[in-house]
Homo-oligomer: A and B are copies of this chain.
């Protein structure tokens, strides 16, 4: 069983005492699913001491309702961590992470201007701030993030590079259900009929990637074509489907190199995101 620690000082003492290196960190908001477990397995394979943080960060929620209904089950998360060889679970309280009213934050600038950042004001500022805190608290050699949150991963890579944080960031491939739906803690909120139509987002993104692979280069046309792959269904609402530079998350008007095709879609009252990498023909 992993040790479960709730305070920063206890965690740092445990890491120092273990004398194990390199240290791997998997930051999560809990509600662990097979996507998280793939991150953990990768950390377990590459590092000597694996720390999983479980912290539902209030700073990154733009909707109070989303924060309040975010699934939480630490006991189950710890049990899953145990079966995947995690050494320590860091599960701090909000008070432990934010003992004083936050005055400083990581401003991620234009990195948050598009995709999810456009629809979730302050979200990536909150993500970047808490991730920087977690990196500094754990001081891992490698930190692992899922590719499903493409904008988050790009922002973390960028801030680590720009701020010279002495840590390697590893992106890990999205885990999908058999029908293509990307795993997400929020999938648990889907009713059976919603679940049945949820893979539409992935199909639309793949439609765009296939068009790019076949030589389409006009982003506007590709996007319209891809969006039309979403069935006319009252439960589905495409929030965005964008084609962006994979490093800067800025829109690409004409596809000439590898791009990230990312989308968000509401299924009833649940918001799902996904993305694919697309390459034009050589």
Residues of A that sit less than 8 Å from B by CB:
8, 100, 102-111, 125, 128-129, 132-133, 136-137, 139, 155, 158-159, 161-166, 248
Contact = CB atoms under 8 A, between A and B. Distances in A.
Contact of A163 (B104, B107, B158): B104
Contact of A107 (B107, B155, B164): B107
Contacts of A105: 106-107, 109
Nearest to A165: B136
Complex A-B, nearest 6 residue pairs according to Cβ-Cβ distance, in ascending order: A107-B107, A136-B164, A103-B109, A104-B162, A104-B159, A137-B164
A82 to B, nearest CB: 27
Contacts of A129: 163
Nearest to A107: B107
A108 B136 CA distance: 18
Contacts of A107: 104-107, 125
A253 to B, nearest CB: 19
Contacts of A166: 136, 139
Contact of A158 (B103, B111, B136): B103
Contacts of A133: 162-164
27 contacts: A8-B164, A100-B161, A103-B108, A103-B110, A103-B158, A104-B106, A104-B107, A104-B108, A104-B109, A104-B111, A104-B159, A104-B163, A105-B106, A105-B107, A105-B109, A106-B106, A106-B107, A107-B107, A129-B163, A132-B163, A133-B162, A133-B163, A133-B164, A136-B163, A136-B164, A137-B164, A139-B166
A19 B112 CA distance: 41
Nearest to A134: B164
Nearest to A167: B136
Most buried by B among A108, A132, A159: A132
